Amino acid sequence: MAEEVVLDLEELRQLQNIAKRPRVLNLISSEICNLEKLRESASVSNAKPEVEPAVPVPVSSSVKPVSPAANYATLGTFSWDQDNEKVKVYISLEGVDEDKVEAEFKPMSLDVKIHDLQGKNYRCAIPKLHKEIVPEKCKVLVKPKRIVVTMFKSSRGNWMDIHYKEDKIKPSLEKEKDPMAGIMDMMKNMYEGGDEEMKKTIAKAWTDARSGKAGDSLKGL
């Protein structure tokens, strides 16, 4: 289109030089003016806009320092008491900020952390409790001179200790329920270490014991 406009302008200018009548000259001049405006607008629309170079955004290369893991002083000494429903742990520390106490309760463990107390961190943990607790019901109360940790027992009853320990009472109770078990063990030992006469006597006593006549048979031993 731009080339056609240029050719039309050249031809009109040639006609303008030849024409003599005023009206014809005015018409030619007007058309030349229109074509020149059209050519200018076409050249502006075809011109590529200048694109400003993108300015790179500076990226901060600073890396936030990673804070080292907190060190804790272990609080191994504490007191505790209980009733049928709950256990209370008493940690003696003065000036503790309630907002800086973190407690984690699990069914079989307790972990209490005290941060930034006179520039130090403290920790009182029981990795395995005597019996299960109910974590969602447990709570911590900070007092001026101590921290009180309340744990609710999963089942009512008395704890022999706050730390987990094997129940060593059960086996002895089972033997007490069956007093004949001890007698039979003794007879077995005597049979294995006795002579023929002793073995016959023990065998008879063993048989009588099973049939309910243990008292008479054991008199001869």
Q: Record the pTM.
A: 0.47
Task: Indicate the SS3 state at residue 114.
Answer: strand
The whole-angstrom separation of Cα 155 and Cα 164 is: 15
- Both tokens assigned to 186: 């003794």
Nearest alpha carbon to residue 96 among 117, 75, 124, 76: 117
Helical segments of 102-156, H only: none
Q: Give the pLDDT confidence score for residue 61 in this predicted structure.
A: 46
Q: Give the pLDDT confidence score for residue 139 in this predicted structure.
A: 95
Q: Give the pLDDT confidence score for residue 214 in this predicted structure.
A: 47
pLDDT averaged per 10 residues, the chain (length 221): 73 77 80 81 64 60 54 92 96 93 95 94 94 96 95 95 75 53 66 71 71 52 53
Q: What are phi and psi of 169, to 5 degrees?
A: -85, -30
Q: Give the pLDDT confidence score for residue 217 in this predicted structure.
A: 47
The whole-angstrom separation of Cα 37 and Cα 40 is: 5
The whole-angstrom separation of Cα 109 and Cα 131 is: 9
Helical segments of 47-129, H only: none
The whole-angstrom separation of Cα 155 and Cα 183 is: 38
CA distances from 81 to 43, 84, 85, 158 (A): 95, 11, 11, 10
Q: Give the pLDDT confidence score for residue 52 in this predicted structure.
A: 64
Query: Roughly what angle, to the nearest 10 degrees, separates helices 179-193 and 169-177?
Result: 80
CA distances from 210 to 51, 71, 177, 193, 199 (A): 110, 67, 17, 21, 16
